[in-house]
Chain A
Amino acid sequence: MKEKNSGQIFAAAQQIGKSLFLPIAVLPFAGILLGIGSSFTNETTIATYGLSGILHQGTALYGFMLMLANAGNAIFGNLALIFALAVAMGMAKKEKGVAVMSAGIFYIVMLVTINSLLVLDRSIVDGVVSETVKEGAITSMLGIQTLQMGVFGGIIAGLAAAMLCNRFYKIQLPTALSFFAGTRFVPIASMACAILTGAFLYVVWPVIQNGIFALGALVQASGYFGTFVYGCIERALIPFGLHHIFYLPFWHTGVGGTVLIDGATVMGAQNIFFAELASPNTIKFSIDACRFLTGKYPFMMGGLPGAALAMYATAKPEKKKEVGSLLFSVGLTSFLTGITEPIEFTFLFLAPALFGVHVVLAGLAFMTCHILGICVGTTFSDGLIDLILYGVLPGQAKSNWMMLIPVLLVYFVLYFIIFRFFIVKWDLKTPGREAEGETAHLVSKDEYRKATGVGIAGGKTSDTKFDEKSAAILKGVGGTANLVDIDCCATRLRLTLVDSKKVNQAILKSTGASGVVVKGAGIQVIYGPSVTIVKSNFEEFVDQVRSGTIPEASFMDAEEAPETEGPETEGPAAETRTNSDAPAAGEDMKSSVLGAHMNGMVVPLGEVQDEAFASGALGDGVAIEPSEGKLFAPADGVIETVFDTKHAVGMTTDDGTELLLHIGIDTVKLGGKHFETHISPKQRVKKGDLLVSFDMDAIKTEGYPCITPMIVCNTDDYQAVEAIADGEIKAGQDVLSVH
């Protein structure tokens, strides 16, 4: 039982990881903009390299760099929100759009709730964070001052919204409130839950933050091992956004050391480094500051690109090209700018254990740099740009940056080997290794079952029996082939159809509709405020029919429904349509309009001078007295039979209508004389293709009429077969309607 639970958690974590691929795809680009922009707008950097002539506030170049930095930063600064939306989209089973919007609502409301409570307890006074609050504990997200929760807050919001959506998207409420039922209930539930969640986090999160703050003090007290622990903790906290509260004290407060430089007291590792960088008196950067700065270079420039290469190497051969660009860019981003979220998030949720390995290696990287006395500073992250600015340019004597190169190479190889090993061993679904075949298919089927089991009109319907109301609606509008789009407004189900003539209003009204409005290709079926549930059920049902889970014939032809359990009917509709050997139950009875099969005069079938045709014994249809000895295909389809005597052709149209085109009366007795066929059995034809040409005069001379009936052999499968033209007609013009 426990194993099953952990399996489910693992599956859910994998799903979250996959959901995050979408936002992760934008991070490399954002990272490069941020990396370049922020390096060249950092005042210390500008001053150090004497660029202030062209780069200072007010110059166009500075403005441009600032714009790049801000554009990139907008993504990273709002990553939590973006993750909230992406997780909701990935985790919602149905109505994903509703889930995404609800996640946005959830996240904002959650933040505002926390903010309100922080104001209430005077942690924030008049928009200013109180001095009693630890640095980094409160941050501004979307302009709301709230607890720093990093992307963790967004993931909570996304998961909650998706869960609420999966649970409630088909909820039914009492009639008075039914406007708020179904999908409209999801954002409402999200708001309510967000308030509760915000209040809960307000209580719980500071406790976690305090614990981490205490850890910082411990690290400072111990030497190389302390550096190792610092590195591990900093990396381990990344997913929770807690790394800021952890490292900021080291970077900007006395926890990270206090040094007197050029007569000024400087506190915090990063502040110390930049004071030393700016000072002309520095001989070597102090290692006591850099032990908290330099350690990220090995795994950001060496390790993670190695991990990206390992993922590429283990991707399926056919997927390599596709994932290559993603992995290359995330690897390159890490190398150039030290932005690691793109690659870290590709394996963090897929394989938390692998992230654990990464954490330990990160700790070792910090310790190694500490031991080797490498002092390369950083503005915000450790990539090539920072290495050049704060390692190479200050000079080997000050930074000892050259020692970093062998460390980078070792890390590259180490990560490649370790990641490759674990990806293969645990069969991790890193990009390019997603299961496409059986597993994915089984999951989706299972989800379908669950979805149908949970939901239809309050969970009464079992998965063996489909939703009859939806089936009736679909039948009433002429099947999936006639259905283009499904939508609804406050009270009406709005459907866009191929042909609104195929609508059967009686069937639609039998589904509980109070009215049906037909306008052009669209119809509106009026159900009242409960329409959102009708719509959700109907959409789901149509999906199932289109995916083949429910055979369309099983409800389109009610009489034969019991027979449709057989395997023959499960094939794709297109196949059954053109396969004349398929049982009648497998046929898909679509409405259609057939073109005239000849040039000439339309004659009602009842007036044909042959009892077999006129009586309708063979089926209903229409006849044409030809003005020219040519028979054309009335629709796209497949030729079924060409009689030896060449005077008749059987075909099945793509819409499933079985047609017999019979030239003349009793002409079978001519034995093929005066006829020439241009097609052969099983051949595909297009509407208007020439099928048979014949010598009208010769046939008439031998005493046979040339009148040519077009008979719908499977008339019984339709409600009506009726001629829709009379008088003179040209081949191809609408002549017969079947529905």
Chain B
Amino acid sequence: MKSFEYTITDEVGIHARPAGLLVKEVKKYDSVINVTKDGKSAEAKKLMALMGLGVKQGDTVTVSVEGGDEEAVAAKIEEFFKNNL
């Protein structure tokens, strides 16, 4: 498993539009990708679970990637977070 931490900078947090973009991004990969905030975890491929975390601007989340090519996938997702969240 590969994971990284990220602090959200987007003003609405992981909500509607950014969340939709994130789901689209992670669905490209076969790995199991989870987003954890304050002990609550959600599968990143599930829009509703993801938004249910209620991640706001300034919150720090842990993103974990588990799968065959987790190294590469984690790197790509981290880059996505930086560009969009």
Contact = CB atoms under 8 A, between A and B. Distances in A.
Interface of A: 580-581, 584, 610-613, 617-619, 640-641, 643-644, 648, 650, 652, 658, 660, 662, 666, 668-669, 681, 713-714, 716
A641 B52 contact: yes
A493 B23 CA distance: 42
B49 A612 contact: no
Nearest to A643: B54
9 contacts: A581-B49, A612-B20, A617-B21, A618-B16, A619-B47, A640-B49, A641-B48, A658-B46, A662-B16
Given A581-B43, A658-B48, 16 more contacts: A581-B49, A584-B45, A612-B16, A617-B17, A617-B20, A641-B48, A643-B15, A643-B51, A648-B16, A650-B48, A650-B51, A652-B48, A658-B47, A660-B47, A668-B12, A713-B23
A581 B52 CA distance: 12
B19 interface: yes
A658 B48 CA distance: 8
B76 interface: no
B48 A580 contact: yes
Interface string B25-57: 001000000000000000101111101101000
Bin the interface of chain B by size: 20 to 34
Contacts of B47: 618-619, 650, 658, 660, 713-714
B16 A713 contact: no
Nearest to B56: A644
A-B interface, 7 closest residue pairs, ranked by CB to CB distance from nearest:
A612-B17, A641-B52, A618-B20, A650-B48, A617-B20, A713-B47, A644-B54
B24 interface: yes
Contacts of B19: 618
Given A618-B47, A619-B47, A650 B52 contact: yes
B24 A617 contact: yes
Nearest to A612: B17
A580 to B, nearest CB: 6
Contacts, number: 64
Given A581-B43, A716-B27, A610 B17 contact: yes
B54 A660 contact: no
A218 B49 CA distance: 88
B46 A580 contact: yes
Interface of B: 12-13, 15-17, 19-21, 23-24, 27, 43, 45-49, 51-52, 54
A82 to B, nearest CB: 59
- Per DSSP, chain A at the interface is mixed
Contacts of A640: 48-49, 52
Contacts of B16: 610, 612-613, 618, 648, 662, 668
Q: Interface centre among B21, B27, B51, by most A CB within 10 Å?
A: B51
A652 B23 CA distance: 17
Contacts of A669: 12
Contacts of A668: 12-13, 15-16
Nearest to B30: A563
A611 B17 contact: yes
Contacts of B52: 640-641, 643, 650, 681
A641 B51 contact: yes
A652 B47 CA distance: 12
A619 B21 CA distance: 11
Nearest to A665: B16
Nearest to A659: B48
Contacts of A666: 12
Nearest to B41: A581
Contacts of A716: 27
Nearest to B19: A618
A527 B85 CA distance: 55
Contacts of A613: 16
Contacts of A660: 47-48, 51
A650 B48 CA distance: 6
Q: Interface centre among B21, B23, B47, B48, by most A CB within 10 Å?
A: B48
Nearest to A652: B48
Contacts of A648: 16, 51
Nearest to B48: A650
B23 to A, nearest CB: 8
Contacts of A643: 15, 51-52, 54
Contacts of B23: 618, 713
A211 to B, nearest CB: 76
Q: Interface centre among A641, A662, A681, by most B CB within 10 Å?
A: A641
A245 B13 CA distance: 94
Nearest to B27: A716
Contacts of B54: 643-644
Contacts of B15: 643, 668
Nearest to A715: B47
A610 B46 CA distance: 21
A652 to B, nearest CB: 8
B28 to A, nearest CB: 12
A233 B52 CA distance: 80
B36 to A, nearest CB: 14
A713 B27 CA distance: 13
Contacts of A681: 52
A580 B51 contact: no
A276 to B, nearest CB: 92
A613 B43 CA distance: 21
A662 B48 CA distance: 12
A713 B17 contact: no
A633 to B, nearest CB: 15
Contacts of B49: 580-581, 640-641
A617 B54 CA distance: 19
Contacts of A658: 46-48
Contacts of A650: 47-48, 51-52
A332 B49 CA distance: 65
A662 B17 CA distance: 12
A731 B52 CA distance: 25
A714 B45 CA distance: 10
A658 B23 CA distance: 14
A660 B17 CA distance: 12
Contacts of B20: 612, 617-619
B46 to A, nearest CB: 6
